[in-house]
Amino acid sequence: MPPGGIGLYDPLEYLYTRRSIRRYTNEKVSPEMIKEILLAGMAAPSTGNQRPWEYLVVDDREKMIEITKVHNLSESLKEASFGILVAANLNKLKYPADWWIQDCAATSQNMLIAINMLKLGGVWLGVYPYEDRVAGVRKIFGLSEDIVPFSMISVGYPAETRRSKKDYHEEIVHWNKW
């Protein structure tokens, strides 16, 4: 811990300042930065290292707008520079239990942190487990049944600022007993 108490450890600022950013300028994000974000996603932990995730980068505005028609809370895609669809490839699962959901959440979160570190803005648009969103996204991209669209991350240069989150809630922390 840094001297002086919690919340003062500089590198962790990237976690506290990560917020859902849904408004973007029209500046395009470079392919190098997109690859850096994907690399961060691929560094996430996964169950037994099964790494069930695959990524579909979408920067075709028509496709992005199509997504907004099957996902009612994805307006941010209209302004985003690009989106990354995180999907699970069920052929890669090592275990019968649904651990892949947590794996896909971990890779999604890694990318959101990387997006913030790169001074970009992004938001997690949940797809799974809403059946209509899963079916809608599958149809747009012609995905087979063994590919499960999990989340869409919309990304761009931020056109809004939001306060950082640094709220320690004593009442939700338990030590040794509940």
Least separation in angstroms between CB 108 and ligand FMN: 8
Nearer to ligand FMN, 47 or 158 (CB): 158
- Helices marked H in the chain: 13-16, 31-42, 61-70, 100-117, 131-141
Structure tokens at 55: 């990524």
- Three-state helix/strand/coil letters over 58-106: ECCHHHHHHHHHHCCCCHHHHCCCEEEEEEEEHHHCCCCCCCHHHHHHH
Binding of ligand FMN by 130 (CB under 6 A): no
Residue among 163 and 177 whose Cβ is closer to ligand FMN = 163
In the bound complex, what is the minimum distance in angstroms from residue 68's beta carbon to ligand FMN? Answer: 11
Considering only 123, 134, 140, 153, the residue that binds ligand FMN (CB under 6 A) is 123
Structural contact between residues 151 and 17, judged by C-beta atoms closer than 8 angstroms: no
Q: Which of 125, 143, 148, 155 binds ligand FMN (CB under 6 A)?
A: 125
Q: Which two tokens stand for residue 57?
A: 């980068």
CB closer to ligand FMN out of 38 and 126: 126
Residues that bind ligand FMN (CB under 6 A): 19-20, 22, 73, 123-126, 165
